[in-house]
Amino acid sequence: MRGVYTAAFLDRLVKYFALSRNEPTLDLGKGFDLITGTSTGAIVACALAVGRPLSEVVRLYEKSGPEIFPHRIKGTMSAIYRALRGDAFVRPGDKALRDALTTVLTDTTMRQVYDLRGISLSVPAVAMKNHRAWVFKKTAKSGPRDDNYPLVDVCMATSAAPIYRSLAAIEDPMGGHGRKQVFADGGLWANNPILVGMIDALAAAAPGQPIEIFSLGTCSRPEGETISDDEAHRSMLDWKLGADVAPLAISAQEFAYDSMARFLSGAFTDLGRSVRTLRFPKKDVPAEMLDYLGLDDSRGSAMTRLIQQACADADLIKSACDDTKNYDGAMVKALMMDLPSMPVTGAVWR
Protein backbone atom coordinates (compact mmCIF):
# COMPACT_ATOMS: atom_id res chain seq x y z
CA MET A 1 0.00 0.00 0.00
CA ARG A 2 2.98 2.33 0.44
CA GLY A 3 3.11 2.61 -3.35
CA VAL A 4 0.47 5.35 -3.04
CA TYR A 5 3.22 7.51 -1.52
CA THR A 6 5.48 7.02 -4.55
CA ALA A 7 2.69 7.75 -7.03
CA ALA A 8 1.49 10.84 -5.13
CA PHE A 9 5.04 12.17 -4.74
CA LEU A 10 5.74 11.93 -8.49
CA ASP A 11 2.29 13.26 -9.36
CA ARG A 12 2.84 16.43 -7.35
CA LEU A 13 6.40 16.95 -8.64
CA VAL A 14 5.28 16.55 -12.26
CA LYS A 15 2.39 19.00 -11.69
CA TYR A 16 4.81 21.64 -10.40
CA PHE A 17 6.88 21.53 -13.56
CA ALA A 18 3.90 21.17 -15.90
CA LEU A 19 2.48 24.40 -14.45
CA SER A 20 5.82 26.20 -14.75
CA ARG A 21 6.06 25.12 -18.40
CA ASN A 22 2.39 25.87 -19.13
CA GLU A 23 1.79 22.26 -20.24
CA PRO A 24 -1.27 20.07 -19.45
CA THR A 25 1.03 17.47 -17.85
CA LEU A 26 4.37 15.79 -18.54
CA ASP A 27 5.26 12.27 -19.71
CA LEU A 28 7.61 11.23 -16.92
CA GLY A 29 8.14 7.74 -18.33
CA LYS A 30 9.66 9.17 -21.51
CA GLY A 31 12.39 10.79 -19.44
CA PHE A 32 14.06 7.39 -19.01
CA ASP A 33 15.69 4.77 -21.21
CA LEU A 34 15.16 2.13 -18.51
CA ILE A 35 12.63 1.91 -15.68
CA THR A 36 12.89 -0.69 -12.94
CA GLY A 37 10.66 -1.38 -9.96
CA THR A 38 9.96 -4.15 -7.47
CA SER A 39 6.64 -5.17 -5.95
CA THR A 40 4.46 -2.08 -5.47
CA GLY A 41 7.21 -0.06 -7.16
CA ALA A 42 6.69 -2.09 -10.32
CA ILE A 43 3.06 -0.97 -10.48
CA VAL A 44 4.19 2.66 -10.53
CA ALA A 45 7.05 1.80 -12.93
CA CYS A 46 4.79 0.07 -15.45
CA ALA A 47 2.22 2.88 -15.31
CA LEU A 48 5.00 5.35 -16.14
CA ALA A 49 6.23 3.10 -18.94
CA VAL A 50 2.83 3.07 -20.66
CA GLY A 51 2.25 6.79 -20.03
CA ARG A 52 -0.66 6.69 -17.59
CA PRO A 53 -1.31 9.80 -15.46
CA LEU A 54 0.10 9.37 -11.97
CA SER A 55 -3.16 10.63 -10.48
CA GLU A 56 -4.76 7.52 -11.97
CA VAL A 57 -2.25 5.35 -10.10
CA VAL A 58 -3.04 7.15 -6.85
CA ARG A 59 -6.73 6.41 -7.40
CA LEU A 60 -5.90 2.75 -8.03
CA TYR A 61 -4.52 2.45 -4.51
CA GLU A 62 -7.29 4.51 -2.92
CA LYS A 63 -10.14 2.70 -4.63
CA SER A 64 -8.84 -0.86 -4.80
CA GLY A 65 -6.63 -1.01 -1.71
CA PRO A 66 -9.42 -2.12 0.68
CA GLU A 67 -10.40 -4.89 -1.76
CA ILE A 68 -6.80 -6.05 -2.26
CA PHE A 69 -6.17 -6.06 1.50
CA PRO A 70 -9.54 -6.59 3.22
CA HIS A 71 -7.82 -7.66 6.44
CA ARG A 72 -4.84 -5.93 8.05
CA ILE A 73 -2.29 -7.85 10.13
CA LYS A 74 -1.92 -5.42 13.01
CA GLY A 75 -0.96 -7.63 15.93
CA THR A 76 -0.37 -11.18 17.10
CA MET A 77 -4.06 -12.01 17.41
CA SER A 78 -4.86 -10.70 13.93
CA ALA A 79 -1.96 -12.80 12.57
CA ILE A 80 -3.43 -15.91 14.24
CA TYR A 81 -6.88 -15.04 12.88
CA ARG A 82 -5.41 -14.73 9.38
CA ALA A 83 -3.63 -18.08 9.75
CA LEU A 84 -6.87 -19.81 10.73
CA ARG A 85 -8.86 -18.32 7.85
CA GLY A 86 -6.56 -19.75 5.17
CA ASP A 87 -7.00 -18.15 1.75
CA ALA A 88 -10.26 -16.39 2.56
CA PHE A 89 -8.56 -12.99 2.25
CA VAL A 90 -5.72 -13.50 -0.22
CA ARG A 91 -7.82 -15.18 -2.91
CA PRO A 92 -10.31 -12.29 -3.42
CA GLY A 93 -7.44 -9.83 -2.92
CA ASP A 94 -5.60 -11.45 -5.81
CA LYS A 95 -8.57 -10.94 -8.13
CA ALA A 96 -9.05 -7.35 -6.96
CA LEU A 97 -5.43 -6.50 -7.74
CA ARG A 98 -5.58 -8.06 -11.20
CA ASP A 99 -8.78 -6.18 -12.01
CA ALA A 100 -7.29 -2.89 -10.81
CA LEU A 101 -4.07 -3.38 -12.79
CA THR A 102 -5.99 -4.24 -15.94
CA THR A 103 -7.85 -0.92 -15.83
CA VAL A 104 -4.51 0.95 -15.90
CA LEU A 105 -2.22 -1.31 -17.95
CA THR A 106 -4.78 -3.08 -20.20
CA ASP A 107 -3.16 -5.94 -22.17
CA THR A 108 0.13 -4.16 -22.94
CA THR A 109 3.21 -6.40 -23.12
CA MET A 110 6.86 -5.82 -22.30
CA ARG A 111 7.76 -5.85 -26.00
CA GLN A 112 5.10 -3.31 -26.93
CA VAL A 113 6.45 -0.82 -24.40
CA TYR A 114 9.95 -1.25 -25.81
CA ASP A 115 8.95 -1.09 -29.48
CA LEU A 116 6.36 1.68 -29.31
CA ARG A 117 7.59 3.80 -26.40
CA GLY A 118 11.33 3.13 -26.56
CA ILE A 119 11.42 2.30 -22.84
CA SER A 120 13.21 -0.72 -21.37
CA LEU A 121 11.79 -2.46 -18.30
CA SER A 122 13.47 -4.56 -15.62
CA VAL A 123 11.26 -6.06 -12.87
CA PRO A 124 12.57 -8.49 -10.18
CA ALA A 125 10.60 -11.49 -8.94
CA VAL A 126 11.28 -15.00 -7.55
CA ALA A 127 10.57 -18.12 -9.62
CA MET A 128 9.04 -20.70 -7.30
CA LYS A 129 9.96 -23.62 -9.57
CA ASN A 130 13.61 -23.31 -8.47
CA HIS A 131 13.49 -20.61 -5.75
CA ARG A 132 15.80 -18.41 -7.81
CA ALA A 133 15.85 -14.73 -8.62
CA TRP A 134 14.06 -13.86 -11.86
CA VAL A 135 14.05 -10.50 -13.66
CA PHE A 136 11.28 -9.80 -16.17
CA LYS A 137 13.29 -7.86 -18.69
CA LYS A 138 13.09 -6.16 -22.05
CA THR A 139 16.15 -4.10 -22.96
CA ALA A 140 18.36 -3.63 -25.99
CA LYS A 141 20.48 -6.55 -24.81
CA SER A 142 17.83 -8.94 -23.49
CA GLY A 143 16.51 -11.89 -25.42
CA PRO A 144 12.89 -12.70 -26.36
CA ARG A 145 12.04 -14.70 -23.22
CA ASP A 146 9.90 -12.01 -21.58
CA ASP A 147 8.69 -10.14 -24.69
CA ASN A 148 5.09 -11.32 -24.56
CA TYR A 149 4.44 -11.14 -20.83
CA PRO A 150 1.58 -8.69 -20.19
CA LEU A 151 2.54 -5.96 -17.73
CA VAL A 152 -0.41 -7.00 -15.55
CA ASP A 153 1.11 -10.48 -15.11
CA VAL A 154 4.55 -9.00 -14.43
CA CYS A 155 3.10 -6.78 -11.70
CA MET A 156 1.18 -9.69 -10.19
CA ALA A 157 4.39 -11.72 -10.04
CA THR A 158 6.68 -9.10 -8.55
CA SER A 159 4.14 -8.08 -5.87
CA ALA A 160 3.17 -11.58 -4.69
CA ALA A 161 4.30 -11.00 -1.10
CA PRO A 162 4.22 -14.17 1.03
CA ILE A 163 1.81 -13.94 4.01
CA TYR A 164 0.23 -10.75 2.68
CA ARG A 165 -0.85 -11.92 -0.79
CA SER A 166 -1.27 -15.00 -2.96
CA LEU A 167 1.60 -16.30 -5.00
CA ALA A 168 1.19 -15.35 -8.67
CA ALA A 169 0.28 -18.12 -11.11
CA ILE A 170 0.63 -16.58 -14.57
CA GLU A 171 0.63 -17.85 -18.15
CA ASP A 172 4.01 -18.66 -19.67
CA PRO A 173 3.97 -17.03 -23.15
CA MET A 174 6.81 -19.32 -24.26
CA GLY A 175 5.28 -22.49 -22.85
CA GLY A 176 1.96 -22.90 -24.59
CA HIS A 177 -0.66 -25.52 -23.66
CA GLY A 178 -1.99 -23.26 -20.88
CA ARG A 179 1.02 -23.97 -18.68
CA LYS A 180 1.51 -21.51 -15.85
CA GLN A 181 4.50 -20.42 -13.81
CA VAL A 182 4.32 -19.41 -10.16
CA PHE A 183 6.22 -16.41 -8.78
CA ALA A 184 6.79 -14.72 -5.43
CA ASP A 185 7.54 -11.10 -4.59
CA GLY A 186 10.80 -9.71 -5.96
CA GLY A 187 11.22 -7.86 -2.67
CA LEU A 188 12.49 -11.13 -1.18
CA TRP A 189 15.83 -10.34 -2.82
CA ALA A 190 15.62 -6.92 -4.53
CA ASN A 191 13.13 -4.75 -2.71
CA ASN A 192 15.39 -1.85 -3.64
CA PRO A 193 16.21 -2.65 -7.30
CA ILE A 194 18.85 0.04 -7.78
CA LEU A 195 21.62 -2.48 -8.51
CA VAL A 196 19.36 -4.37 -10.94
CA GLY A 197 18.82 -1.11 -12.79
CA MET A 198 22.51 -0.20 -12.71
CA ILE A 199 23.57 -3.56 -14.16
CA ASP A 200 21.03 -3.40 -16.98
CA ALA A 201 21.96 0.23 -17.71
CA LEU A 202 25.65 -0.67 -17.94
CA ALA A 203 24.82 -3.58 -20.23
CA ALA A 204 22.52 -1.64 -22.56
CA ALA A 205 24.07 1.84 -22.71
CA ALA A 206 26.51 2.80 -25.45
CA PRO A 207 30.22 2.60 -24.53
CA GLY A 208 31.17 5.66 -22.52
CA GLN A 209 27.58 6.94 -22.31
CA PRO A 210 26.99 8.67 -18.96
CA ILE A 211 24.42 6.98 -16.75
CA GLU A 212 22.09 8.76 -14.34
CA ILE A 213 20.01 6.75 -11.88
CA PHE A 214 17.06 8.33 -10.09
CA SER A 215 15.99 6.18 -7.12
CA LEU A 216 12.72 6.75 -5.28
CA GLY A 217 11.43 4.73 -2.34
CA THR A 218 8.04 4.19 -0.72
CA CYS A 219 8.25 6.34 2.42
CA SER A 220 10.84 4.64 4.60
CA ARG A 221 9.85 3.66 8.11
CA PRO A 222 11.41 5.42 11.14
CA GLU A 223 14.22 2.95 11.76
CA GLY A 224 15.51 1.06 14.77
CA GLU A 225 14.18 -0.24 18.06
CA THR A 226 15.52 -0.66 21.57
CA ILE A 227 15.39 -4.32 22.61
CA SER A 228 16.21 -5.62 26.08
CA ASP A 229 18.05 -8.90 26.70
CA ASP A 230 14.82 -10.68 27.61
CA GLU A 231 12.99 -9.33 24.56
CA ALA A 232 15.67 -10.74 22.26
CA HIS A 233 14.19 -14.24 22.66
CA ARG A 234 11.45 -13.80 20.09
CA SER A 235 9.18 -16.57 18.95
CA MET A 236 6.99 -16.89 15.87
CA LEU A 237 4.14 -15.18 17.69
CA ASP A 238 6.38 -12.25 18.61
CA TRP A 239 7.13 -11.87 14.89
CA LYS A 240 3.35 -11.99 14.16
CA LEU A 241 3.86 -15.37 12.47
CA GLY A 242 6.38 -13.75 10.12
CA ALA A 243 4.46 -10.60 9.21
CA ASP A 244 6.97 -8.39 11.06
CA VAL A 245 9.93 -9.86 9.17
CA ALA A 246 9.00 -8.23 5.85
CA PRO A 247 9.29 -4.58 6.99
CA LEU A 248 12.62 -5.38 8.65
CA ALA A 249 13.97 -6.97 5.45
CA ILE A 250 12.72 -4.03 3.37
CA SER A 251 14.52 -1.48 5.56
CA ALA A 252 17.77 -3.45 5.65
CA GLN A 253 17.77 -4.00 1.88
CA GLU A 254 16.98 -0.39 1.11
CA PHE A 255 19.97 0.87 3.08
CA ALA A 256 22.36 -1.86 1.91
CA TYR A 257 21.63 -1.56 -1.81
CA ASP A 258 21.74 2.23 -1.74
CA SER A 259 25.13 2.10 -0.04
CA MET A 260 26.50 -0.44 -2.53
CA ALA A 261 25.13 1.57 -5.46
CA ARG A 262 26.84 4.75 -4.24
CA PHE A 263 30.12 2.90 -3.84
CA LEU A 264 29.91 1.31 -7.29
CA SER A 265 28.89 4.51 -9.03
CA GLY A 266 31.91 6.24 -7.51
CA ALA A 267 34.19 3.38 -8.52
CA PHE A 268 32.89 3.38 -12.13
CA THR A 269 33.27 7.16 -12.34
CA ASP A 270 36.86 6.95 -11.11
CA LEU A 271 37.53 4.40 -13.85
CA GLY A 272 36.23 6.80 -16.50
CA ARG A 273 32.61 5.63 -16.84
CA SER A 274 30.33 8.33 -15.49
CA VAL A 275 27.64 6.75 -13.28
CA ARG A 276 25.65 8.94 -10.91
CA THR A 277 22.95 7.89 -8.46
CA LEU A 278 20.41 10.13 -6.78
CA ARG A 279 18.22 8.87 -3.95
CA PHE A 280 15.32 11.11 -3.04
CA PRO A 281 13.74 12.25 -0.88
CA LYS A 282 16.38 11.98 1.86
CA LYS A 283 14.31 13.44 4.67
CA ASP A 284 13.46 11.33 7.72
CA VAL A 285 9.72 10.87 8.19
CA PRO A 286 7.99 11.80 11.46
CA ALA A 287 7.78 9.02 14.05
CA GLU A 288 3.97 9.21 14.04
CA MET A 289 4.05 7.89 10.45
CA LEU A 290 4.88 4.46 11.87
CA ASP A 291 1.17 3.89 12.53
CA TYR A 292 0.41 4.18 8.79
CA LEU A 293 3.22 2.23 7.11
CA GLY A 294 1.92 -1.34 7.23
CA LEU A 295 2.34 -3.07 3.87
CA ASP A 296 -1.32 -4.08 3.97
CA ASP A 297 -2.75 -0.96 5.63
CA SER A 298 -5.57 0.06 3.28
CA ARG A 299 -7.38 2.32 5.75
CA GLY A 300 -8.44 5.67 4.34
CA SER A 301 -6.58 7.41 7.17
CA ALA A 302 -3.35 5.62 6.24
CA MET A 303 -3.62 6.54 2.55
CA THR A 304 -4.44 10.14 3.43
CA ARG A 305 -1.40 10.39 5.68
CA LEU A 306 0.89 8.81 3.06
CA ILE A 307 -0.35 11.23 0.40
CA GLN A 308 0.13 14.17 2.77
CA GLN A 309 3.70 13.07 3.44
CA ALA A 310 4.32 12.61 -0.28
CA CYS A 311 3.15 16.14 -0.99
CA ALA A 312 5.33 17.58 1.76
CA ASP A 313 8.38 15.70 0.46
CA ALA A 314 7.69 16.77 -3.13
CA ASP A 315 7.52 20.38 -1.96
CA LEU A 316 11.00 20.00 -0.45
CA ILE A 317 12.39 18.51 -3.65
CA LYS A 318 10.88 21.36 -5.68
CA SER A 319 12.61 23.82 -3.33
CA ALA A 320 15.89 21.99 -3.97
CA CYS A 321 15.26 22.32 -7.71
CA ASP A 322 14.86 26.08 -7.30
CA ASP A 323 18.19 26.32 -5.42
CA THR A 324 20.86 27.00 -8.02
CA LYS A 325 23.54 25.71 -5.66
CA ASN A 326 21.85 22.37 -4.98
CA TYR A 327 23.48 19.76 -7.24
CA ASP A 328 20.81 17.09 -6.67
CA GLY A 329 18.04 19.61 -7.29
CA ALA A 330 19.69 20.64 -10.55
CA MET A 331 19.72 16.98 -11.66
CA VAL A 332 16.00 16.60 -10.97
CA LYS A 333 15.17 19.93 -12.61
CA ALA A 334 17.11 19.07 -15.77
CA LEU A 335 15.13 15.83 -16.06
CA MET A 336 11.78 17.53 -15.54
CA MET A 337 12.44 20.39 -17.94
CA ASP A 338 13.37 17.92 -20.68
CA LEU A 339 10.19 15.80 -20.44
CA PRO A 340 7.76 15.83 -23.36
CA SER A 341 4.24 17.16 -22.88
CA MET A 342 1.38 14.69 -22.42
CA PRO A 343 -2.43 15.00 -22.47
CA VAL A 344 -4.00 14.85 -19.00
CA THR A 345 -5.73 11.64 -20.08
CA GLY A 346 -2.39 9.89 -20.69
CA ALA A 347 0.03 9.26 -23.53
CA VAL A 348 -1.36 8.35 -26.97
CA TRP A 349 0.94 5.78 -28.51
CA ARG A 350 -0.86 2.51 -29.32
Contact 340, 26 (CB under 8 A): yes
Q: Give the pLDDT of residue 56.
A: 94
Q: How far apart are CA 101 and CA 3, in angstroms?
A: 13
pLDDT tens-place string over residues 141-150: 999 999 999 9
| 149, part of any domain | yes
| 27, part of any domain | no
Task: Name residues whose C-beta falls within 8 Å of residue 57's C-beta, 6 or more positions apart in sequence.
Answer: 3, 7, 11, 43, 44, 47, 104
Cross-strand pairs, 211: 275
Element (H, E) at 213: strand 211-216
Which of these is catalytic: 11, 27, 39, 159?
39
| 150, part of any domain | yes
Q: How far apart are CA 157 and CA 166, in angstroms?
A: 10
> Catalytic residue at 159?
no
Q: How far apart are CA 179 and CA 173, in angstroms?
A: 9
> Catalytic residue at 39?
yes
3-state secondary structure of 194: helix
Q: Give the pLDDT of residue 315.
A: 95
| 331, part of any domain | no
Residues in the chain: 350
Q: Give the pLDDT of residue 137.
A: 96
Which of these is catalytic: 185, 200, 296, 313?
185
Closest CA to 35 of 295, 254, 215, 182: 215
Q: What is the pLDDT along the chain (350 residues), one digit of tens a residue?
A: 889 999 999 999 999 999 999 999 999 999 999 999 999 999 999 999 999 999 999 999 999 999 988 888 887 778 787 777 777 888 889 999 999 999 999 999 999 999 999 999 999 999 999 999 999 999 999 999 999 999 999 999 999 998 888 999 999 998 776 789 999 999 999 999 999 999 999 999 998 899 999 999 887 766 677 788 888 888 887 877 777 887 788 888 888 999 999 999 999 999 999 999 999 877 677 777 878 888 888 899 999 999 999 999 999 999 999 999 999 999 999 999 999 999 999 998 86
pLDDT tens-place string over residues 38-76: 999 999 999 999 999 999 999 999 999 999 888 888 877
Q: Determine the number of helices (DSSP H) and then strands (DSSP E) in the chain.
A: 12, 9
| 328, part of any domain | no
The tally of domains found in the chain comes to 1
Contact 158, 190 (CB under 8 A): no
| 263, part of any domain | no
Domain extent for 149: 33-220+268-299
| 28, part of any domain | no
Helices 40-50 and 3-20: angle between axes, nearest 10 degrees? 30
3-state secondary structure of 19: helix
| 236, part of any domain | no
- CATH number of the domain bearing residue 169: 3.40.1090.10
